[in-house]
Structure 1
Amino acid sequence: MKLQCDVEVVNRMLPTFGMKSRGKGSRAVLCIGKHLDKTSQRCSVYLMICTAKDRTGSKYKLKDNIEKFFTWFVEEGKATADANSLKNFLSAARLADRGSDASSLPLSTLTPVRARDVEQPKKKLTIVSKKDYPLTSSFPYSLEQLQVSYCKLSRVDTRMLSLKALRKLDLSNNHIKKLPATIGDLACLSELVLHSNHLEAFSEALCLSTLQRTLQLLDLSQNRLQSLPAQFCQLRELVNLKLDDNKLVSLPFHVGRLAKLRFLSAAHNQLAVLPGDFRKLRLENLDLFGNPFVQPNTLDHTMQLTFPVSLQELASRAVANLRIPYGPHLIPAHLCRDLELAKTCDCGRFCINFYIKTAVSMNLHQVSHTVVLVDDMGGTDAPVQQHFCSLSCYSEFLDNSLRRGIR
């Protein structure tokens, strides 16, 4: 049995001579196997430790030679080796210490190791040429940063999705059209860079995956996205979001829920108006240059009201206004989806599917410290949606707007 890990061998007599151990482990290969004891001319089970400085290895007899096994770090997941492999290795060492029959132990040949076996685990790998892309070998399991660019990938390689320590994945400048939902299984992923691909959608499954708790940077610029799902705003750890040079006609309805977002760029899209929730953002840098924003006029509106208001609408408004808990286990799923898209009226109450909608001008400095000009004319204003739950709320808004001379 062999195990690759970081090992520190400590001589407990050092303090007696006023010396300290260096307190740092070295990359090593541990082996358990048989070795002929030249003194007794008997084969015994030994533990062999091979390092970069000593590839031939140092051997330690196991039988009746271990005072105690410490397994706290194994149980808490703090060991530098794979937890399951380490548990099996310690189990074999314990059996050898007790003198168990060697035939029942998973033994290895005690031979010198190769140099690559005792190298430090590779944490970063950059591939920027198709000829360098590995076709037959696997990616190092220890990778924390992986960049694969200019390789003409049409899909995400499934071998990348098994890299459980991966923190940054850069697949920019490829031909990827669709993202697998299993990217959401990368439990440590904090940066996902996908600019300059052929993406046409960002799936709901990714928004509801473990990326909710880990993803801080997402670069989707220079793709073919026309919209983002409502669930996109579940990625609440996002700090930096890049959406430039797509075909987006709108931003997610509840974009204001991205409370940690500090950098947002969505330049050169097809945005005509921003969602009302946009007002809740608190950014450090905002870039919306090159979007065909409409010139807002409070008298231009969309009327989506019926008289009288339907009972379903009244009930849904009551649930939203009174903050009554709901879910698919209590009400139909389509009503849950409607409630997730509840609009806030100027009066502070909610409306669901029946409302009056218009657009008002907002200076983007209200939501961001630094603002890139919206157009070549030097403006920093953009239209934001405004909803009203009734005719009386809309009329009161118009009266106030006219008094302030706003059109």
Structure 2
Amino acid sequence: MKLQCDVEVVNRMLPTYGMRSRGKGARAVLSIGRHVDKTSQRSNIYMMICTAKDRAGSKYKLKDNIEKFFTWFVEEGKATVRLKEPAVDVCLSKADANSLKNFLSAARLADRGSDSSSLPLSTLTPVRARDVEQPKKKMTIVSKKDYPLTSNFPYSLEQLQVSYCKLSRVDMRMLSLKALRKLDLSNNHIKQLPATIGDLGCLSELVLHNNHLETFSDALCLSTLQRTLQLLDLSQNRLKYFPPHFCQLRELVNLKLDDNALVCLPSHAGRLQKLRFLSAAHNQLTVLPGDFRKLSLENLDLFGNPFIQANPLDHEMQLTFPLSLQEMASRAVANLRIPYGPHLVSAHLCRDLDRAKTCDCGCVCVNFFIKTAVSMNLHQVSHTVVLVDDMGGTDAPVQRFFCSLSCYSEFLDNSLQRGIR
């Protein structure tokens, strides 16, 4: 029986001499096995602890020698074994919870003197240096020749950068790194992202700068990334649109979309309430979504987009009289916030409801509306604004939707009155 974890051996007599333990564990391999005592020539079950400084290991007898087990935090990979002789506490941490439970069970059986045939014993031999190294948390690969082809990535990785390796797809071995917090795959040739990236339950930063992405999967927007992803860098790709549920990534703080082929930003951008940094320079944006007005940013960069000249009198009419029954039903579902999904209504109705627009009056319109654009000073949504064009402007057109002629007429009247004043 072997266990890899951090270990601190605390002598309980230290306070008697006015001394304290250093309070820091070292990476170690613990083994339970049989050893012959040179003095008594008797064979007993021992626990051996090997560290980088003591690879030969220190042995502690187990039979009738364990005073107590402390296992309150065993599910977190922590436990303490209190020995009678010598008077030490063996403090274990950063262990796999299941492996730790099995190790403690074996130690308990050894303490009770159980038949050795029922114990999963190991050979008590010195360990290799790599067995007691601290788990690797960060790896950077910036050359194709350094890319691992036969070995796996260390499972303990929290940060992984693989750049300039000409990857055409995401290596599935990366998707088994459950502790990964930052994944940087910039400067490769990746065309598509697997939905299983969403299974990386700790991922807070995803950098895909300078790849060949043409789409961003809707499945990723509905994965665990909703709760973890804070930085997303999709700059210098080939994106034109975003999936309907993109704004479900509500933990986003920093979003980089520069140098793509975007013709529009996510229609429900206002739902990204934690977003503070947004850059979408050098795209094909002609107008911003109406929900954009709800953002509260610290820095905004929209330079180099072909924005139209906003004129509220120029409008697009998509209304019928009377409204279709489907439009009336869809509006009722949205306005009353009735739950919906593919298990309740057909998929195309779900897509329509996901793209619903909000009128100035607060009501929702789905497929029938009047659309126009008004000019907005971007300082209304961001503390710092990069100039929109070479002329020094910070205004950009924002879409406005109206559910009826009366709402549109009221908007024009109010606009006229403000202009007169």
Deviates more, 1:363-372 or 1:292-301: 292-301
TM-score, normalized by length of structure 2?
0.93
In the other structure, the counterpart of 1:34 is 34
In the other structure, the counterpart of 1:154 is 168
Contact 2:244 2:351 in 1 (8 A): no
State how far apart, in whole Å, the 2-side matches of 1:352 and 1:174 are: 39
1:365 Cα deviation after fit: 0.6
Summarize the Cα distance change of 1:324–1:182 in structure 2 as closer, same or farther, 3 Å threshold: closer
1:331 Cα deviation after fit: 4.1
State how far apart, in whole Å, the 1-side matches of 2:303 and 2:30 are: 58
In the other structure, the counterpart of 2:320 is 306
1:399 aligns with 2:413: yes
1:340 Cα deviation after fit: 2.6
Code of the aligned partner of 2:216: F
What is the correspondence of 1:40-51 to structure 2 with a 5 Å cutoff?
Answer: 40-51=40-51
Code of the aligned partner of 2:209: H
- Count of matched residue positions in the alignment of Structure 1 and Structure 2: 406
SS at 2:11's partner residue?
coil
Code of the aligned partner of 1:301: H
1:339 Cα deviation after fit: 2.5
Contact 2:185 2:207 in 1 (8 A): yes
What is the correspondence of 1:198-209 to structure 2 with a 5 Å cutoff?
Answer: 198-209=212-223
In the other structure, the counterpart of 2:69 is 69
State how far apart, in whole Å, the 2-side matches of 1:66 and 1:91 are: 12
1:322 Cα deviation after fit: 3.2
Code of the aligned partner of 1:165: A
Task: Write the deviation string for residues 23-45 of structure 1: whole angstroms up to 9, x where unpaired.
Answer: 21111111111111223323222
In the other structure, the counterpart of 1:348 is 362
1:173 Cα deviation after fit: 0.6
Contact 2:177 2:200 in 1 (8 A): yes
Code of the aligned partner of 2:60: Y
Contact 2:77 2:100 in 1 (8 A): no
In the other structure, the counterpart of 1:136 is 150
State how far apart, in whole Å, the 2-side matches of 1:114 and 1:57 are: 11
Task: Write the deviation string for residues 8-63 of structure 1: whole angstroms up to 9, x where unpaired.
Answer: 11111222222222221111111111111223323222110011111110001111
362, 370, 379: which one aligns with 2:384:
370
In the other structure, the counterpart of 1:87 is 101
Summarize the Cα distance change of 1:139–1:404 in structure 2 as closer, same or farther, 3 Å threshold: same
128, 136, 150: which one aligns with 1:122:
136
Task: Write the deviation string for residues 328-353 of structure 1: whole angstroms up to 9, x where unpaired.
Answer: 45544443332232211122222111
350, 355, 377: which one aligns with 1:336:
350
In the other structure, the counterpart of 2:90 is none
92, 110, 118: which one aligns with 1:104:
118
In the other structure, the counterpart of 1:190 is 204
What is the correspondence of 1:273-284 to structure 2 with a 5 Å cutoff?
Answer: 273-284=287-298
SS at 2:24's partner residue?
coil
Structure 1: state its 5+ residue gaps: none
SS at 2:66's partner residue?
coil
- Kindly, what percent of the aligned residue pairs are identical? 87
1:223 aligns with 2:237: yes
Code of the aligned partner of 2:43: C
State how far apart, in whole Å, the 1-side matches of 2:337 and 2:249 are: 23
Summarize the Cα distance change of 1:77–1:336 in structure 2 as closer, same or farther, 3 Å threshold: farther
